[in-house]
Every structure is written in structure tokens, then in C-alpha cells.
Amino acid sequence: MDLRDLISERLVYAPGVWDGLTARLAEQAGFPALCASGFAISAALGYPDAELYSMSENLQAVRTIREASGLPLIADIDTGYGNAVNAHRTARLFADAGVAAVFMEDQRSPKRCPLIPGSAPELLDVPEATGKIRAVVDAAKDSGMLVIARTDASGDEALRRADAYVEAGADLIMPVTKTFSTVEEWRRCHEVTGVPLMATLTASAWTEREFTPEVMRQIGVRIALLPTQVLMAVTRAAGDCLRRLASGENPADVSADATSHHDFVDLIGMPEIERLQQAYLPAAEPV
């Protein structure tokens, strides 16, 4: 089922993934869709979420995820990597990669992650921001890819921008966790725009705590991203494993607490490779 059909029928949860392994794990866990989390993709490259990686690096990560899983993929295209012309090309390439939806923010490039303490991010003026959305919408038109407009504004200014972005062709609006501070403000955004909302239930954010499925249905949220939970869990598990090994603990004891080698090769798809080998490769000569 494609993403449009999914969100017309149900609230869709999409975990943040960044490579083929996390995509496989999420699909096997039973999720209906995935999010190529810019925060996680940047972290996997060893960078904070400050638009330090290139569009091409992001696109390569998306292609890797798409190769590993056939689930609908929602991709973070940051600021579109430039002006409206750059954003048009970015959207076209991501559509060509088979992405089901993209979300783009209205910050001025390079972006600032709203979760990082400090001054508020610098936003584009509304005419420039809507021009970029129109460019992405036009690039996505033939592919059916959904366009999700993110705003890092707050309060009434966020409502004004959200309404303008829908007028420019956005299919959904994505307030960030700091856009509004109450559930009622989210409800108002849905009423003003008349389109579904996408929420980020970022680890430790107020939306993660308060946005139950029932609340989200009441305020018009149709997609709920889980952008950082997997990344944080993997980081802790990997860090603990490495500290134990570095301290001189017996590797066999460390391995006993982890996924077994046999289970892992099954998870990663070795049985399918063995089937293909038997189907296409010549039989081994007897010794």
C-alpha cells in the first residue's frame, strides 16, 4: 500500500533509519513506513545535525535504505540544499529514487537543528519559502511523491506560514517540536490549513510524552515520526559493548549478551542469497 493510501486509513508511525540494516530491522519489526532521518544520517557520518553533509550523501543513504526495504520511505531533504532551483533538482532526484514523501524546512541554509540550544534558526521570508515549496511540488508531480512543508516558526507566525505553504501545494504540514507548546495549538494548525499534519515524536521531547494515538487523531496528525529512538538505543548498546571490550572483558562474555551470529545472518538476508546461489551458480565440483 502506498503512503497516500496508508494515511487515509490510519495513523502511520515511521521510525528513523539511516542504512540498510536499520531499514531491515524496522520492516521486520512490523512498521508500515520508514523515515530517512537527517539527524541519524548525519550522525552515521560522524556529524551533528547542522546540514554538514551534502545532498548527494543524503541521497546515497536513501538509495541504500530503498534497496534494503520496500516500505514507503519519508525522506528529510533539509533546506533543499540551496534556493528553489536547487530544491527542484533535489526533489526530482529523491522522487527518482522511489521516495514516497519528502519534508523540507523553511530555514535559511545551512540549517540549525531546533533541538540544539542557542539562538533561534534564521527563516526564509514567506515568498522565498513558498517559491521553494512550489518548486518541490512541481518536481514531485509526476511521481506522486508527497510534499511535506516543515516550519520552524512559532505561534501565529507558524500558522500564517503553514497556510501559505498549503496554498503553494504542500500535502502535509510539519510543525517541529518547538513550533507549538500545546496540543490545542496543533489542533488550530490543522483547522487553519485543512490538511493532515506530521509530528516528530523526538526522544525526550514533549510531543513524545503527550502525543498518544488518540490525541494525534483528534488534532489531525496522520504521520508520526520516531526520528531518534533507534539511534539513541543503538548508540547506547554499541557504546556499552565497546567499553566492555576495551576494558579487557572476555569477548565471549560480551557476545553472549548480543544477537547470535546465526540469528544475525538470517536477519540480514543470507537465506535469500543462498537460494539465489543454488538457482544461478553452477554446482560445486565434487572433491
Q: C-alpha grid cell for residue 232?
A: 539513541
Structure confidence at residue 115 (pLDDT)? 61
Tens of pLDDT, residue by residue over 80-136, are: 999 999 999 999 999 999 999 999 999 998 887 766 666 678 999 999 999 999 999
Q: What is the pTM of this model?
A: 0.94
- pLDDT mean over 156-169: 98
Average pLDDT over residues 61-74: 98
Looking at the chain, how many residues does it have?
287
The domains located in the chain, with CATH, are: 3-234 (3.20.20.60), 252-279 (no CATH)
Give the pLDDT confidence score for residue 287 in this predicted structure: 66
pLDDT tops 90 at residue 51:
no
